[in-house]
Chain A
């Protein structure tokens, strides 16, 4: 299947104490219409990988090949809303003027549960509401490829669940490819078609999950996957300056 191909991707940062080699040769294919979830310890380079794929940072070595034009949207680890725009204008921020449509926006506002807050400014929202606005901004853009960096970390259990279902619905309806970073193994098991573990700057393991949705993450098969992930993550893998 055609998809986004990442070959031999490396990235390092210069620091006072030397060079920090974050990524040491990532090999990854993101098949079209699939949800790839990236797991890894804090500081292992998940955000860095996302920024490279999203073109916000230049790779050192290696390449990222896109199959044709992609309409990409980014959900950052922080909400990053425009403080001077209200919720509705923030959600429409990615769209060109002629693509804006009040009804579509209203529907998206409804699906992320922000009815009645259309006119609110970001500083009047809670952290979770801001993050949902950022999610809505990405979805309103109608992307074919979505990169998400721990988008649901600030949400309570139930809101998080409903946002996850919303994301799965979007994927079903638009067939968008999704690259999703999370800390939560449960979240990975709920959403992923495939789970990628990153450690020591490379893809250290890969798990393919059954197609079936909705999933019961407490079924035997997924519990086995969870065991494997936990034991893989437990191995010491600190990336230290060289």
Chain B
């Protein structure tokens, strides 16, 4: 019952947008080059499905996102854990991290192209840079925010630092880690499009840029829809995984 109630307004909202779009095109307010009609876009989309080019671009972009996101997660996790095990080491790299956090990854593209070429490495590095920081900050927050009272319990049972990490710090940080992963995944998608618009011959970002150069606004709109849908889909997927892993505990068991 509740689910239905949630979906109905969502569908109405989407339908309203399409209706407005349809009406604007029908009234001929804009040139069909500036704003192609929904039917035109739909036809283009079907054609692209038939030739399979969309799937190839989705798969390639998806693979890049996963690789960059995975590397960023490992890095963020390891550095955050390092900070827990060796708190004295923090000032050595914390300022560097804060500096790079404020540098937009896309501004590094010229340098990256120079250093890493226009191949996969550059794109991976851009995604890593874009998704590392939100994840790093949440993981650090999760690790350092661990309840001191619980840490004392571990200490009172003479836990080693490693055992304390695995049995107390890590489980208590899980909600923060997952929130960070979710935020970062969104950042990865945003960055991949930027990266592919600059230096790529495949992927969704490239598809959009290429369509623009070919004056195919319909294809651009298809690309936007596909990116939004795929991004939303991966986010939901991660949400689902989160629910599988931590069950109901995330909402009620943590204090």
Contacts and interface: CB of A to CB of B under 8 A. Distances in A.
Interface of A: 54-56, 72-74, 76, 78, 80, 82-85, 93-94, 121-123, 141
Interface in B111-166: 149-150, 152-153, 155-157
B255 A123 contact: yes
Interface stretch (B14-22, B202-210, B217-225, B246-254): B246-254
A93 B153 contact: yes
Contact of A80 (B152, B252, B254): B152
A54 B152 CA distance: 10
Contacts of B252: 123
In this complex, the member of B157, B171, B174, B254 whose beta carbon has the largest number of chain A beta carbons within 10 angstroms is B157
Contact of A82 (B152, B155, B156, B168): B168
Given A80-B150, A84-B172, A123 B156 contact: no
Contacts of A54: 156
Given A76-B149, A78-B149, A83 B254 contact: yes
B145 to A, nearest CB: 14
Interface in B3-39: none
B59 to A, nearest CB: 37
A36 B253 CA distance: 36
Interface in B174-192: 174
A94 B155 CA distance: 10
In this complex, the member of B153, B174, B255 whose beta carbon has the largest number of chain A beta carbons within 10 angstroms is B153
Nearest to A90: B153
Given A76-B152, A80-B149, A82-B171, 20 more contacts: A54-B156, A56-B155, A72-B156, A73-B156, A74-B153, A76-B149, A80-B150, A82-B167, A83-B249, A83-B254, A84-B172, A84-B249, A85-B171, A93-B153, A94-B157, A121-B249, A121-B253, A123-B252, A123-B253, A123-B255
